[in-house]
Chains A and B, each alone.
Chain A
Amino acid sequence: QVQLVQSGAEVKKPGASVKVSCKASGYTFTSYGISWVRQAPGQGLEWMGWISAYNGNTNYAQKLQGRVTMTTDTSTSTAYMELRSLRSDDTAVYYCARQGGGGTDYWGQGTLVTVSS
């Protein structure tokens, strides 16, 4: 069965960086992309960006350009999302999800990132 397992919760200070991992199993990793979506407390879903696991092509939300980097390691079927220069409004649950022609069909369990001094 398809599974996406994310790394654990993080607490960071303003200005620091965080890197969240997402290990995929149960499907051919390079046949799909990975989207990253975040959700601030009590708020809606915010699309952060996408990476092709096939060739590493990326597309990031304009508001995060310059602060976010998405990568994959095909040898371990793992995707990563790094967010730099963290601010308090980056506090959110971060999700990875499998992206295909049929939408975002499988989601990780979410990783809570708290930014606090």
Chain B
Amino acid sequence: EIVLTQSPGTLSLSPGERATLSCRASQSVSSSYLAWYQQKPGQAPRLLIYGASSRATGIPDRFSGSGSGTDFTLTISRLEPEDFAVYYCQQYGSSPPWPFGQGTKVEIK
């Protein structure tokens, strides 16, 4: 089973700064099946990125995804106040299981 490791655990940044989040897989993941989610306290997760780099419906273009193989990145180009949240990656390849990473918390510095 693939294990996803996210880093850093917590990212302390100011609004307007750039955020770079990492997701590393224990074995190669098809880029077609790597997703990123945002979760705010008390809310369900929200799909941001699928297929490693495609933005989900309604997601602002300040969110971008990249990577292939075992290394993937979520970048938030300029943090808005509403972007402070926890972010998870997930591989959802051709067959389950589909584990999540442990999450990265983006907090206000």
Contacts and interface: CB of A to CB of B under 8 A. Distances in A.
Interface stretch (A24-32, A71-79, A81-89, A105-113): A105-113
B35 interface: yes
Given A44-B88, A45-B103, A99-B92, A107 B97 contact: no
B44 A109 contact: yes
B95 A47 contact: no
Given A44-B102, A108-B44, A110-B44, A61 B97 contact: yes
Interface string B44-74: 1111001100101100000000000000000
A45 B98 contact: no
Q: For the complex, would chain B's binding face be called helix, strand, loop or mixed by DSSP majority?
A: loop
Given A45-B45, A102-B50, A107-B44, A59 B92 contact: no
A46 to B, nearest CB: 7
Which among A45, A61, A103, A105 has the greatest number of chain B C-beta atoms within 10 A? A103
A99 B96 CA distance: 11
Interface residues of B, number: 27
Nearest to A48: B97
Interface residues of A, number: 23
Contacts of B44: 95, 97, 107-110
Contact of A103 (B1, B92, B102, B103): B92
Given A44-B86, A105-B50, 12 more contacts: A45-B90, A45-B100, A47-B96, A47-B99, A47-B100, A59-B95, A59-B96, A62-B1, A95-B45, A104-B45, A104-B90, A107-B44
Interface of B: 1, 32, 35, 37, 39, 44-47, 50-51, 54, 56-57, 86, 88, 90, 92, 95-103
